[in-house]
């Protein structure tokens, strides 16, 4: 089978699934190595972008999914008027930023950084499955330790959790350099 054939099959698999498909499942269906799948998908991504296709391959935590492009939203809206979900509040975003960067983290620590109580924000974020209880601290009251979810990655378009600290750190360095 040539690479073109593999690309076609991967496209078909992602199309049928709708949901994210793990690289492991793709490799299993194609009966090739995961490494090879990765390489093919990387090429596909480039091709899709180069050809300005209507779909793109997004990657979240070792899973791949087909999605439309933001620039086509307007046209899709004309035809289907999909509802845009309400964005997160400033408080929720702030809380999420702290959790993303400092996870696992307790509510008390978040409150200290923010200078305000974060109960409501934590509730919203849990409801939207953007954060989860990852563990509990071994101290009095066994406080919950929060962390981000895969949904968080998808929601903000991060490939993996490793993308995150890097990006955040860059920003901080950048901010510091530009304000000192």
Partner 1 sequence: MTYRVKLEVFEGPFDLLFHLIEKNEVDIYDIPIAEITAQYLQYLEDMRYFDIEVASEFLVMAATLIQIKSRMLLPQQEEDGTEEDIDPRQQLVERLIEYRKYKGITEELKKREDKYQLLLFREPSPVESYVDYEPILINIDISDLCKAFDSVMKRYSSLYNEDTGLERSIRRESITVVDKIKYITNRLRYEKEVLFQSLFGDGETRESIVVTFLAMLELIRLKRIMVEQRNTFGDIIIRNRKTKAGDK
Residues that bind its own copies (CB under 8 A): 4-5, 7-17, 21, 25-26, 28-30, 51-55, 66, 68-69, 72, 75-76, 78-80, 82
Region of 10-18, 38-46, 133-141 interacting with partner 1 (CB under 8 A): 10-18
The answer to whether the CB of 130 falls within 8 A of the CB of 96 is yes
| Residue 7: CB minimum distance to partner 1, A | 15
Report if residue 27 touches partner 1, rule: CB under 8 A: no
Nearest CB to partner 1, comparing residues 88 and 137: 88
Instruction: Give me the residues that bind partner 1 (CB under 8 A), please.
Output: 1, 12, 15-19, 31, 58, 65-71, 73-74, 76-77, 80-88, 90-91, 93-94, 96-98, 100-101, 113-117, 154-159, 167-168, 171-172, 175-176, 178-180
């Amino acid at each position: 089978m040539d690479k073109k054939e593999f690309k076609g099959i991967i496209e078909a698999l992602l199309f049928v699934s709708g949901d994210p498909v793990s690289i492991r499942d793709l490799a299993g269906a194609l009966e090739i190595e995961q490494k090879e799948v990765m390489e093919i998908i990387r090429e596909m991504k480039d091709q899709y972008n180069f050809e300005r296709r209507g779909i793109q391959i997004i990657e979240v935590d070792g899973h791949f999914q087909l999605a439309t492009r933001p620039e086509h939203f307007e046209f899709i809206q004309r035809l289907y008027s999909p509802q845009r979900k309400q964005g997160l509040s400033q408080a929720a975003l702030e809380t999420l930023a702290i959790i993303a960067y400092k996870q696992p983290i307790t509510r008390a620590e978040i409150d200290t950084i923010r200078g305000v109580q974060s109960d409501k924000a934590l509730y919203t974020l849990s409801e939207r499955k953007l954060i989860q209880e990852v563990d509990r601290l071994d101290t009095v009251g066994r406080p919950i330790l929060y962390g981000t979810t895969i949904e968080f990655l998808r929601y903000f378009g991060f490939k993996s959790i490793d993308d995150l600290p890097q990006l955040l750190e860059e920003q901080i360095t950048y901010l510091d350099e530009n304000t000192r």
